[in-house]
Chain A
Amino acid sequence: MKAGRLFLIFLAGALFGTGLAISGMTDPGRVIGFLDVFGAWDPALLFVMAGAVGVYGLGMLLLRRFQNQNLKLPSTASSPIDRQLVVGAAIFGVGWGLGGFCPGPSLANLGALRIEALVFVPAMAIGMFLAQRFCGADQ
């Protein structure tokens, strides 16, 4: 990949991190506030998803029309809903509810050197490695 493109993808990452921080999703209190439906429910995560899903969905719909040899988009076709997907998503749900961190916000909090992120991210890397090494989750 050319240097210019790599720099732009760095900026896209910075935009992603800025969005995460502004949205409040880097605060596990807000994430667990959303997941705690029988407590003082915090709807913020729903607004984040609405904004992100809306922009990405509309953007991909528009980009599809301009697809050519210079613009190659990845397949967005659904994979089969098999046992691996269901079990993996359920396991992720347990960890998400337990810690209030999903991968993006945990990495974002490395930017503040927060001890929670410094503990969570290496553990997450080990979990990923195990799934990829021993469960064939490496397509």
Chain B
Amino acid sequence: MNDYALWHALIGGILIGFASLIATVLSGKIPGISGVFGRLLVPATPDKKWRSLFLLGLIGGAALSFFLWDSAALFRPMRPLAVMGVAGLIVGFGTRLGGGCTSGHGVCGVGTGAKDSIAATLIFVVVAMVTVLIYNRAVL
């Protein structure tokens, strides 16, 4: 698995789907990453334990994979750090306002055919494509 190939994308996606399914059964919630993380920032959230452990597992599983496989460890920095900071702020605000991100809306919501998630996913993919187009024209 040292050279990246498209079947890695498919296998990785299947793992993400299974992980989301297991987390749905165990938590009784739709385990979108932005919702799992965002609600950790609300003091009144009662179920912080599983949220923290799920995200710690995510970080640990990724760390192990980076260590084991060169193709997984590939990381190409695309933007200056100042842009990454602004992007983080915008992503955090938008995902919570819109009620989900690529996992909650994109994987779980689209997977179960929820109309709001299908709409949200179409919107954020198209807007992201336009943003990349504008960034490439204006900055690069």
Contact = CB atoms under 8 A, between A and B. Distances in A.
B92 A131 contact: yes
Contacts of B24: 60, 73-74
A103 B11 contact: no
Interface string B21-56: 111111111110110011101100001011001111
A88 B97 contact: yes
Interface string B80-103: 010111111111111111110111
On chain A, which size bracket covers the interface? 35 or more
Nearest to B23: A12
Interface of B: 1, 4, 6-31, 33-34, 37-39, 41-42, 47, 49-50, 53-66, 69, 71-79, 81, 83-99, 101-103, 105-117, 119-121, 123-133, 135-136
A93 B59 CA distance: 23
Nearest to B12: A23
Given A48-B10, A100-B79, A85 B120 contact: yes
Contacts of B75: 26-29, 109, 112, 114
A90 B123 contact: yes
A57 to B, nearest CB: 4
Nearest to B107: A52
A76 interface: yes
Contacts, number: 486
A35 B128 contact: yes
B74 A24 contact: yes
Nearest to A8: B26
A51 B9 contact: yes
Nearest to B90: A95
Contacts of A104: 33, 58, 101-103
Contact of A36 (B125, B127, B132): B132
B57 A97 contact: no
B71 A24 contact: yes
A15 B15 contact: yes
A65 to B, nearest CB: 14
B120 to A, nearest CB: 4
A121 B59 CA distance: 12
A129 B99 CA distance: 13
Nearest to A39: B136
25 contacts: A5-B50, A8-B26, A13-B58, A13-B60, A17-B58, A18-B12, A19-B15, A35-B125, A36-B132, A48-B9, A51-B15, A51-B16, A52-B111, A53-B110, A73-B25, A88-B120, A92-B90, A93-B125, A93-B127, A96-B128, A99-B83, A109-B62, A120-B91, A128-B92, A130-B93
B6 A43 contact: yes
